[in-house]
A and B are shown apart, each in its own frame.
Chain A
Amino acid sequence: MPDSQPPAIELRGVSKIYPGSPPIKALDDVSVQIARGQMVAVVGQSGSGKSTMLNVMGTLDQPTSGSVLIEGTDTSLLTDNQLSAIRGRRIGFVFQRFFLLSGIAVIDNVANGLLYTGAARPRRREAAEAVLERVGLGARRWHKPDELSGGEMQRVAIARALVGEPAFVLADEPTGNLDSASSNSIIELLFSLHDEGRTIVVITHNEAIAAAMPRQLQILDGRLVHDTGTVSR
């Protein structure tokens, strides 16, 4: 399993302190590696710092100290525009609240995952169509998001995250807004994506979901207190 390839994501001594009085230490000296193809659950109570960790991994936020390496690249050395490029090309995000644009069809919501890569529209739509088939929504591609169920909307969001063939997918409470049936189908979808070799990090406070994942990271008060998969390399 070990090879010369760098891990998909690596945090080295990452701390994140939000200024204020008193300052809030959302992440405290966290070091972790997530190898390619791994599926990892990040668990912890709300306020434990798990969302901050996901934002830092996704370069949406920068650590106060320590460094975040994405496929071996130290993101602290990159400009804001380069970070945008990394997000656009190497990272797929899935959010609890989907963030679909209500005015445009499902296929264009998915194609938007490639919008800022400069790909032409026909090519974006083609890729979107393929990935919609993959998540089982090929038939719904011309519907507007508000014509879909919550579970379907989250599938669209997952398709949008996948359309650019990212190095890894970061999912922040992907089932937080869904009923249990929809939740299960989303988790199944994530597992099947993992089976295809994708790297997936899922934040959840649902212990049953977390327990099903091959590796779990437990965050408490900004510290990584438990890691079931320390031998990841």
Chain B
Amino acid sequence: MNLAPSRLRLSETARVSLGSLAARRLRSALSALGIAIGIASLVAVLGLSDSSKSALLDQIGALGTNLLTIEAGSGFGAGDAALPETSVATVSRVPTVEATSAVYTVDAGVYRNDLVPADLTGGISVYGTDPGLLAALNGEIALGSFLTEATRDHPVAVVGAVAAERLGIRNLDRPVRLYIGDRWVEVAGVLEPFALAANLDRAVLMGDRAAERYYDTELAPATVYVRVDEDHIDATRDVLAATVDPENPEEAEISRPSDLLEARSAAESSFTSLFLGLGAVALLVGGIGVANVMVIGVIERRGEIGLRRAIGATRAHIRRQFFTEALTLATMGGTAGVLLGVAVTYGYSLAQGWRVIIPPIAVIGGIAAAVAIGVIAGLYPAVRASRVSPTEALRSA
């Protein structure tokens, strides 16, 4: 007797496996859901982290990374240290410096009017500065105008974003005055938040010469802001301390505010790793769910396995069928997960006003991870199904 071997076309394997899954729709969907949630969280975490990072990098790019700040260090016995009065002049003579500005601490409280008790300062500080500050910090004005050469000498103030909120300044439709120290000061403008100088958001700024005239402020800068040629940032940074204070260069502290934003982005990355870890756990649980459903299926479907062996299926056919089922479940879950993750990324990023970035690695990696999980979760149940002896399967089913 010469018989052709049993064979099952590939398309039939797919049909048989899909048919089996369709016959147990709810269970199939639930077990695929586990994978979907895992993959969705991975895709969303990667997508959101990239989108938010790109927003941050856009911000850094717009602000420029070439801003350096010089502050009086807390040197030994420095006390209330201030930089030398000549700082701005000497720094602006460094050839790679493009712009310089400074703020001077004014020792006065800010109040909405003269009836507020003196100790309720609201945590708002007062600085004197020059009209070049806005340009040096790439700052923007929200209302009114910034200080000008004309207002530099007069009791006129510009209010930081947070300070304006605390002082209840919502518009300048009518003249607004603040009671600073022991005199009334006209408000000329309100600032947008500074990304690179957050302390100025909680401050009221007035002209340096006005500060000197009305508040006896010494024109020793609290902070000098320096815009440096992009290509010579490090070299300039190295000479700035000695330039500002040749006698005590160690007392001038130089920092680069964009480093903070970059540090924030790095901090967000470490959160990303944490969430990725959680996503991986979800995925693992999903994979176990699929394996579990498949193992239960093998036990429940012994009759079917026995029948298939009786109508000519080889062990390999049985193995392939169950393997394909697991793989299909995982792939469906993975695809749904990727779609869900992309949707979440879109929704959240758009709500935050970020540019939406879906990293290809998240999409490809998500599907690949799902397939890999399908392979791992399907292998054991498939082998187990193929090892069921037909007589046992038919008897015990």
Which chain A residues have a beta carbon within 8 Å of chain B's beta carbons? 51, 55, 58, 60-61, 70-73, 80-82, 84-90, 93, 95, 97, 99, 101-104, 112-113, 115-118, 120-121, 160
CA distance A115 to B389 in the complex (A): 20
Most buried by A among B303, B306, B307, B308: B307
Q: How far is the CB of A2 from chain B (nearest CB, A)?
A: 20
Among B19-27, B39-47, B339-347, the one that faces the other chain is B19-27
Given contacts A60-B390, A103-B19, A113-B311, contact A71 B1 (CB under 8 A): yes
Are B5 and A85 interface neighbours, CB within 8 A?
yes
Are A116 and B4 interface neighbours, CB within 8 A?
no
Are A84 and B1 interface neighbours, CB within 8 A?
no
Are B394 and A60 interface neighbours, CB within 8 A?
yes
Are A84 and B23 interface neighbours, CB within 8 A?
no
CA distance A112 to B23 in the complex (A): 16
Q: How far is the CB of A64 from chain B (nearest CB, A)?
A: 14
Given contacts A60-B391, A60-B394, A85-B312, contact A116 B307 (CB under 8 A): no
Given contacts A84-B313, A113-B311, contact A89 B4 (CB under 8 A): yes
Are B391 and A116 interface neighbours, CB within 8 A?
no
Option from A55, A72, A87 in Cβ contact (under 8 Å) with B312? A87
Q: Which residues of B, 282-334, contact A by the 8 Å Cβ criterion? A: 303-304, 306-317
Are A116 and B1 interface neighbours, CB within 8 A?
no
Q: How many residues on B have C-beta within 8 angstroms of the other chain's C-beta atoms?
A: 34
CA distance A80 to B5 in the complex (A): 11
Are A88 and B19 interface neighbours, CB within 8 A?
no
Are B315 and A117 interface neighbours, CB within 8 A?
no
Could you say which residues of chain A place their CB within 8 Å of the CB of B8?
A: 115-116, 118
Q: List 19 A-B contacts (CB under 8 A).
A: A60-B310, A72-B1, A81-B6, A81-B315, A82-B3, A84-B309, A84-B314, A97-B303, A99-B306, A99-B397, A103-B19, A103-B23, A116-B6, A116-B311, A117-B4, A117-B6, A117-B312, A118-B4, A160-B311
CA distance A120 to B20 in the complex (A): 19
Could you say which residues of chain B place their CB within 8 Å of the CB of A117?
A: 4, 6-7, 312
Q: Which residue of the partner chain B has the closest CB to A54?
A: B391
CA distance A101 to B17 in the complex (A): 13
Are B391 and A84 interface neighbours, CB within 8 A?
no
**Quick check: is B9 within 8 A (CB to CB) of the other chain?**
yes
Could you say which residues of chain B place their CB within 8 Å of the CB of A95?
A: 307, 394
CA distance A115 to B307 in the complex (A): 12
CA distance A95 to B19 in the complex (A): 23
Q: Which residue of the partner chain A has the closest CB to B317?
A: A116
Given contacts A80-B314, A84-B6, 7 further A-B contacts (CB under 8 A): A84-B312, A84-B317, A85-B5, A85-B6, A86-B3, A88-B6, A116-B7
Are A88 and B312 interface neighbours, CB within 8 A?
yes
CA distance A82 to B393 in the complex (A): 20
Q: How far is the CB of A233 from chain B (nearest CB, A)?
A: 19
CA distance A111 to B325 in the complex (A): 21
Are B310 and A58 interface neighbours, CB within 8 A?
yes
Are A87 and B394 interface neighbours, CB within 8 A?
no
Q: How far is the CB of B261 from chain A (nearest CB, A)?
A: 58
Q: Which residue of the partner chain B has the closest CB to A88?
A: B312
Are A70 and B1 interface neighbours, CB within 8 A?
yes
Are B3 and A85 interface neighbours, CB within 8 A?
yes
**Quick check: is B58 within 8 A (CB to CB) of the other chain?**
no
**Quick check: is B12 within 8 A (CB to CB) of the other chain?**
yes
Given contacts A81-B6, A85-B6, contact A99 B303 (CB under 8 A): yes
Are A102 and B6 interface neighbours, CB within 8 A?
no
Are B304 and A115 interface neighbours, CB within 8 A?
no
Given contacts A61-B391, A85-B4, A85-B5, contact A80 B310 (CB under 8 A): no
Q: Which residue of the partner chain A has the closest CB to B5?
A: A85
Q: Which residue of the partner chain B has the closest CB to A69?
A: B1
Which 8 pairs across A and B sit closest by C-beta, in order of nearness? A88-B312, A103-B23, A116-B312, A118-B7, A99-B307, A73-B1, A84-B314, A116-B6
CA distance A73 to B3 in the complex (A): 11
Are B12 and A81 interface neighbours, CB within 8 A?
no
Q: How far is the CB of B393 from chain A (nearest CB, A)?
A: 9
Are B391 and A115 interface neighbours, CB within 8 A?
no
Could you say which residues of chain B place their CB within 8 Å of the CB of A85?
A: 3-6, 312
CA distance A116 to B391 in the complex (A): 19
Are B20 and A103 interface neighbours, CB within 8 A?
yes
CA distance A121 to B303 in the complex (A): 23
CA distance A2 to B310 in the complex (A): 31
Could you say which residues of chain B place their CB within 8 Å of the CB of A112?
A: 311
Most buried by B among A84, A85, A112, A117: A84
Could you say which residues of chain B place their CB within 8 Å of the CB of A70?
A: 1
Q: Which residue of the partner chain A has the closest CB to B9?
A: A118
Q: How far is the CB of B44 from chain A (nearest CB, A)?
A: 35
Given contacts A99-B397, A116-B312, contact A104 B7 (CB under 8 A): no
CA distance A87 to B20 in the complex (A): 23
Could you say which residues of chain A place their CB within 8 Å of the CB of B1?
A: 70-73, 86, 90
Could you say which residues of chain B place their CB within 8 Å of the CB of A116?
A: 6-8, 308, 311-314, 317
CA distance A80 to B390 in the complex (A): 12
CA distance A73 to B391 in the complex (A): 21
Option from B7, B19, B311 in Cβ contact (under 8 Å) with A87? B311
